Amino acid sequence: MAILVTGGAGYIGSHTCIELLNAGYEIVVLDYFLNSKPEVINTIKEITQSAFKFYTIDLLDKNSLDKVFLENDIEAVIHFAALKAVGESSYNPLEYYHNNITSTLILCEKMRKYNVKNLVFSSSATVYGVPERCPISEDSPLKAKNPYGRTKLMIEEILQDLYASDKEWSICILRYFNPIGAHQSGLLGEDPNGIPNNLMPYITQVAIGKLKKLNVFGNQYPTNDGTGVRDYIHVVDLAVGHLKALERITFSTGVEVYNLGTGKGYSVLEMITAFEKASGKKIPYKIVESRPGDVAVCYADPEKAEKSLGWTATKGIDEMCKDAWRWQSLNPNGYEKNQERESPYCIPSEDFLIGNK
Ligand code: UD1
């Protein structure tokens, strides 16, 4: 029995594949490399020294998905594949709705067809919009503020309807707070396309000299130092949360929603200080206008995940910053440089690229 991971080459997907393989799961991975690099597949194999089947597949391509279910004995699906840039989603809403929602519908239709009814879905704290209060619990009001966030919210509702129509489904919706950091090996991390939108990859690119200085978006928020506060969570902790969710869905049915966060908030200035301490690098910054759509404070109440899944974040802010910096300093150009890296146990990707390559 195998776990199908869609979007397994992405930032969170790839770290989850590593945890799954290390825990002894058999995995089958899909990706279409819209936001990720083929090199990641080899890196996962290199780190875990495990083999797995990989398919280059666009989830919107219904027919190729049949092949995956027919060729493998899939027990559950972890669905990461999606477009994820907030700003871009406002410029291309149709693309975002089509890509994220249609692909999930197709995936669920195929799951139903092949009687695979265990699903872990990647959602986001963005579904809370402007939170009424912090920490944010799962039953807080939902109101996404941009097309990306609305795709996540709509999919959550679709999954609720799916379970209501067929009580054999077992679905876990995970609402991520702000994932940062990288795999401890320094071989796997976040590699955004173009100039990063998110804070940590922006900071690491300033530290490596690719960007001149950080723009701090606003210092007039009602927080200790006036800058925005977020719940940063180590991507490996987040990955482990998926294993806990998987354990949960394989022995019960229903739809459950969990926050995956640490429950602690850090301001932008605190993040700069933590990163400088962890890396020994100075981060020049400038206070600029606040970013439209940003909220002042956002951090999780992670108690439900702790009680029901037995999961808590274990890695603190120093480790997050150290790991983010290790990844960036070893890979100044992300995965591009890694293509030249030689490894004695790297399996040529061609052997494992199946599907419409
Ligand atoms: C953003 C998205 C959110 C998405 C999440 C994924 C927006 C409005 N929200 O959340 O929907 O789920 O990423 O991780 O884009 N900051 C700076 N300078 C920068 C970048 C960020 O000061 O160059 C500040 C922001 O104002 C914020 C904090 O750093 O206070 C974190 O920002 P970011 O990493 O972009 O995450 P979110 O805004 O929380």
Ligand 1 centroid to residue 44 C-alpha, Å: 27
350 has pLDDT over 50: no
Let me know if residue 355 belongs to a domain.
Answer: no
Choosing from 11, 83, 86 the residue with most ligand 1 atoms within 8 A of its CB, the one to mutate for a pocket test is: 86
Let me know if residue 196 belongs to a domain.
Answer: no
- The mean pLDDT value for 254-266 works out to 98
Ligand 1 centroid to residue 14 C-alpha, Å: 22
Q: What is the pLDDT of residue 73?
A: 98
Of 148, 202, 258, 335, catalytic:
148
340 pLDDT band, cuts 50/70/90, is very low
Ligand 1 centroid to residue 173 C-alpha, Å: 21
Task: Tell me which residue has its CA closest to atom 4 in ligand 1.
Answer: 126
Q: What is the pTM of this model?
A: 0.94
Q: What is the pLDDT of residue 247?
A: 97
Ligand 1 centroid to residue 176 C-alpha, Å: 13
- The 10s digit of each residue's pLDDT in 36-77 is 999 999 999 999 999 999 999 999 998 999 999 999 999 999
* Percent above pLDDT 70 for the chain: 94
Task: Tell me which residue has its CA closest to atom 27 in ligand 1.
Answer: 228
**To the nearest whole number, what is the mean pLDDT of the chain?**
93
Are the C-beta atoms of 23 and 61 separated by less than 8 Å?
no
More confident residue, 348 or 48: 48
Ligand 1 centroid to residue 243 C-alpha, Å: 26
CATH classification of the domain holding 20? 3.40.50.720
Q: What is the pLDDT of residue 336?
A: 83
Let me know if residue 188 belongs to a domain.
Answer: no
342 has pLDDT over 60: no
Among the listed residues 18, 72, 9, 74, the one whose alpha carbon sits nearest the alpha carbon of residue 49 = 18
Alpha-carbon distances, residue 128 vs 48, 255, 299 (angstroms) = 36, 18, 11
Q: Any catalytic annotation for residue 55? A: no
Give the number of domains in the chain.
Answer: 1
Report the distance separating Cα 109 and Cα 107, nearest Å.
5
Let me know if residue 70 belongs to a domain.
Answer: yes
> Given the DSSP bridges, would you call strands 285-288 and 214-217 parallel, antiparallel or unpaired?
parallel
- The 10s digit of each residue's pLDDT in 265-309 is 999 999 999 999 999 999 999 999 999 989 999 999 999 999 999
Report the distance separating Cα 351 and Cα 342, nearest Å.
17
Three-state secondary structure of the chain: CEEEEECCCCHHHHHHHHHHHHCCCEEEEEECCCCCCCHHHHHHHHHHCCCCEEEECCCCCHHHHHHHHHHCCEEEEEECCCCCCHHHHHHCHHHHHHHHHHHHHHHHHHHHHCCCCEEEEEEEHHHHCCCCCCCECCCCCCCCCCHHHHHHHHHHHHHHHHHHHCCCCEEEEEEECEEECCCCCCCCCCCCCCCCCCHHHHHHHHHCCCCCCEEEECCCCCCCCCCCEECEEEHHHHHHHHHHHHHHHCCCCEEEEEEECCCCCEEHHHHHHHHHHHHCCCCCEEEECCCCCCCCEECECCHHHHHHHCCCCCCCHHHHHHHHHHHHHHCCCCHHHHCCCCCCCCCCHHHHEEECC
105 has pLDDT over 50: yes
Choosing from 100, 178, 204, 214 the residue with most ligand 1 atoms within 8 A of its CB, the one to mutate for a pocket test is: 178
Task: Tell me which residue has its CA closest to atom 38 in ligand 1.
Answer: 294
Q: What is the pLDDT of residue 213?
A: 98
- The 10s digit of each residue's pLDDT in 172-205 is 999 999 999 999 999 999 999 899 999 999 999 9
- The 10s digit of each residue's pLDDT in 129-153 is 999 999 999 999 999 999 999 999 9
Q: Which atom of ligand 1 is nearest to the CA of 227?
A: 30
Among the listed residues 89, 181, 81, the one whose alpha carbon sits nearest the alpha carbon of residue 126 = 89
344 pLDDT band, cuts 50/70/90, is very low
Let me know if residue 354 belongs to a domain.
Answer: no
Let me know if residue 106 belongs to a domain.
Answer: yes
User: 343 Cβ partners below 8 Å, 6+ apart?
Assistant: 42, 46
Q: Indicate if ligand 1 lies below 6 Å from the C-beta of 202.
A: yes
Which domain does 22 fall in, by range? 2-180+232-260
Ligand 1 centroid to residue 160 C-alpha, Å: 28
Let me know if residue 66 belongs to a domain.
Answer: yes
Q: Indicate if ligand 1 lies below 6 Å from the C-beta of 86.
A: yes
337 pLDDT band, cuts 50/70/90, is low
Let me know if residue 352 belongs to a domain.
Answer: no
- The 10s digit of each residue's pLDDT in 10-26 is 999 999 999 999 999 99
Report the distance separating Cα 353 and Cα 357, nearest Å.
7
Q: Indicate if ligand 1 lies below 6 Å from the C-beta of 215.
A: yes
Q: Indicate if ligand 1 lies below 6 Å from the C-beta of 268.
A: yes
